[in-house]
Structure 1
């Protein structure tokens, strides 16, 4: 009885999903591009320790 009208414009959820997927793809591409030339042997990390320095208030 009621026919659904076909529209050329996709619904809002589809647009949001497409935009979100595109954002994730761009972020992953940028991450791979930025870190593909990194050499792990040249990276120096600061060692974090669990020691604390307590200073009295008085």
Structure 2
């Protein structure tokens, strides 16, 4: 009876790993598919975020 439990555990772990790997693969595929048709590499549609500090007095 103890031998059966030891044999069942790797099957559960293997199934969890397979499901996790499949989920990661689907998310990566969806990400690549959604962002594949973006042609603006320079980001002209979005403002550029810079680290510059502008000392403007608001008072």
* Interval of TM-score (by shorter of Structure 1 and Structure 2): 0.5 to 0.7
Aligned counterpart, 1:23: 23
Please report how far the alpha carbon of residue 41 of structure 1 lies from its aligned counterpart in structure 2 after TM superposition: 4.6
Please report how far the alpha carbon of residue 12 of structure 1 lies from its aligned counterpart in structure 2 after TM superposition: 1.3
36 and 51 in structure 1: CA distance in 2 versus 1, 3 angstrom threshold:
same
* Larger Rg, first or second structure (1 or 2): 1
Q: TM-score, normalised by structure 1?
A: 0.58
Within the alignment, does 1:14 sit opposite 2:8 as a pair? no
Measured on the aligned residues, the alpha-carbon RMSD in Å equals 2.9
Structure 1 unmatched runs, 5+ = none
Q: Kindly tell me the number of residue pairs found equivalent between the two proteins.
A: 50
